[in-house]
């Protein structure tokens, strides 16, 4: 094939520590973003389902714009454009977390909405007739059923987030992909480094994705 001297020892020692600190950043960003995205998603979903047309209009427009533009462009936009608009410099890490949270939140809002709409209307009518207040009805009857439906897709979103956090590299957030770029520019060993990084992502994401599949099957059979 081609003559190449593999030097896997590049990813060891200090270099490995360097990459692993990047992995730590990747996981921290993903976890924080998941929490924020779940909140953003709830806000967007509530706006979408609001009884007030202006609120609905805001929620739908925002959701459609976010869902139909690339995440990379959004990140660049948040990082470069928001500072111009508001006149403040945004930390690259903040920009990544904000950008990713909004992006994923827009998708999560759809997950919530379909979860809530999957609960048959009769269930809340029964609660209504028995005298439960609208809040009790939502908290006790609709939400527990909706959550069951939304947990697996939420977990899939987490897998997505871990992968999308690699885009932080383009706005110089020192997560694992960025660290890999830096390391390969000093060692000239992109093959070993990016292969290693791909394996790291796979080793984290694949078991998660498999676990979710098993979980979904279990929920279905109940």
Partner 1 sequence: MAATPIIVAENVSKRFGENQVLTRVSLPVMERDVVCVVGPSGSGKTTLLRCLALLEVPSEGRVVMQGLPISTPERSKQVRSAARAVRSDIGMVFQHFNLWPHMSVLENLIEAPVRVKKLPKSEAVAIAEKLLAKVDLLDKRNAYPGRLSGGQQQRVAIARALAMSPKVLLFDEATSALDPELRREVLLVMRQLAQEGMTMLVVTHEMGFARQVGTRTVFMDKGEIVEEAPGAAFFEKPKTERAQRFLQQFEE
Q: Does 94 bind partner 1 (CB under 8 A)?
A: no
How many other C-beta atoms are found inside a 10 Å radius of the C-beta of residue 190?
13
Q: Compute the least distance from the CB of residue 164 to partner 1, in Å.
A: 33
Cα distance between residue 73 and residue 160, in whole Å: 17
Q: Compute the least distance from the CB of residue 16 to partner 1, in Å.
A: 47
Using CB under 8 A, pick the residue from 125, 134, 213, 214 that binds partner 1. Answer: 125
Q: Is 6 left (phi over 0), alpha (psi -120 to 50) or beta?
A: beta
Contact positions with partner 1 (CB under 8 A) in 149-168? none
Pick 130 or 199: Cβ nearer partner 1: 130
Q: Does 51 bind partner 1 (CB under 8 A)?
A: no
- Dihedral (Cα; 176, 177, 179, 180), 10-degree rounding: 120
Using CB under 8 A, pick the residue from 85, 122, 188, 220 that binds partner 1. Answer: 122
List the Cα angle 155/157/158 in 5-degree steps: 65
Q: Does 141 bind partner 1 (CB under 8 A)?
A: yes
Using CB under 8 A, pick the residue from 140, 182, 187, 205 that binds partner 1. Answer: 140
Q: Does 126 bind partner 1 (CB under 8 A)?
A: yes
| Total residues interacting with partner 1, rule: CB under 8 A | 18
Pick 3 or 222: Cβ nearer partner 1: 222
Using CB under 8 A, pick the residue from 132, 204, 208, 209 that binds partner 1. Answer: 132
Using CB under 8 A, pick the residue from 18, 21, 49, 148 that binds partner 1. Answer: 148
Summarize as ranges the residues that interact with partner 1 (CB under 8 A): 120, 122-123, 125-132, 136, 140-141, 144-145, 148, 222
């Amino acid at each position: 094939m081609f003559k190449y001297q593999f030097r896997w020892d590049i990813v060891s020692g200090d270099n490995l520590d360097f990459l692993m600190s990047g992995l730590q950043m990747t996981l921290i960003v993903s976890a924080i973003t998941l929490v924020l995205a779940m909140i953003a998603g709830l806000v967007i979903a509530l706006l979408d389902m609001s009884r007030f047309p202006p609120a609905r209009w805001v929620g739908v427009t925002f959701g459609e714009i976010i869902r139909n533009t690339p995440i990379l462009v959004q990140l660049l936009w948040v990082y470069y454009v928001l500072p111009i608009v508001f006149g403040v410099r945004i930390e690259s890490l903040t920009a990544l977390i904000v950008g990713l949270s909004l992006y994923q939140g827009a998708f999560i809002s759809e997950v919530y909405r379909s979860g809530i709409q999957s609960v048959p209307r009769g269930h809340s009518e029964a609660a209504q007739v028995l005298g439960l207040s609208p809040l009790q009805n939502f908290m006790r009857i609709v939400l527990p059923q909706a959550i069951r439906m939304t947990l697996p897709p939420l977990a899939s979103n987490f897998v997505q987030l871990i992968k999308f956090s690699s885009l932080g590299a383009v706005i110089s957030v020192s997560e694992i992909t960025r660290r890999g770029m830096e390391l390969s520019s000093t060692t000239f060993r992109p093959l070993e480094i990016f292969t290693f990084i791909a394996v790291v992502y796979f080793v984290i994401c694949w078991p998660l994705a498999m676990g979710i599949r098993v979980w979904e099957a279990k929920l279905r059979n109940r």
